Amino acid sequence: MARHHGPVLLDTNVILESHRTGSWRALAGGYHVETVEDCIAETQPGNQRRRAEQRIDRHGLRKSFAAVHRVTDRERAELAVRVPDIALDRGEASLWAHAVHRDDSWILCGPDTASLRFGIRLGFRDRLVSLERLLDNAGHRPTPSLRDAYTRTWHDRTLGLLVLAEHSQP
């Protein structure tokens, strides 16, 4: 996949993992990163139990995004009705509720299998990308290494399995 130049939508887990590996600056500086309010909020619980260098400053985080979008309960509900059998957490539901209404060339980065399955079900498989692929294309090698669910290998394998599962349903 060539380097993407449009919007990159990020879920909470990607934000946390890129901070954990010291990759946030490369990610936010290398792409037009966007998210939703609920994902920003989800980065804050547990801050008081993290070491100082692991805490994510909410204000600084918001400023590092090209855009942070608000999503309404109605938009989340409309999305839940479209795919009632896949449960997403609030941040993922908000991110997808925002994404499906866009008409530009966005891609979405989030390792949760329910979210990936959701994207496949809605026909967005080609817009799903791993954190490792984004960082590779930005010329960044994280230290410490990314956890498995953020790697290209895990992402590609999981997408393949989910596509097969979706196609085998009646």
Give the pLDDT of residue 168: 82
* Residue 160 domain flag: yes
* Residue 1 domain flag: no
* CATH code where residue 69 lies: 3.40.50.1010
* Residue 70 domain flag: yes
> How far is CA 157 from each of CA 106, 109, 149, 150, 152, rounded to the nearest angstrom?
22, 15, 10, 12, 8
Query: Which positions of the chain have pLDDT values less than 70?
Result: 1, 47-48, 50, 52-53, 170
* Residue 2 domain flag: no
Give the pLDDT of residue 47: 65
* Residue 108 domain flag: yes
Structural domain count, the chain: 1
* Residue 114 domain flag: yes
Domain that holds residue 77: 7-167
Give the pLDDT of residue 169: 74
Give the pLDDT of residue 85: 95
* Residue 62 domain flag: yes
* DSSP, residue by residue, 102-167: --S--EEE---HHHHHHHHHTT-GGGEE-HHHHHHHTT---SSPPPGGGSHHHHHHHHHHHHHHHH
Q: Residue 105 — φ and ψ, nearest 5°?
A: -95, 55
User: Within 10 A of 6 (CB to CB), how many other CB atoms are there?
Assistant: 13
* Residue 135 domain flag: yes
Give the pLDDT of residue 111: 97
DSSP state of 83: S
Q: 3-state SS of the chain: helix, strand, coil percent to 5?
A: 55, 10, 35
Give the pLDDT of residue 52: 65
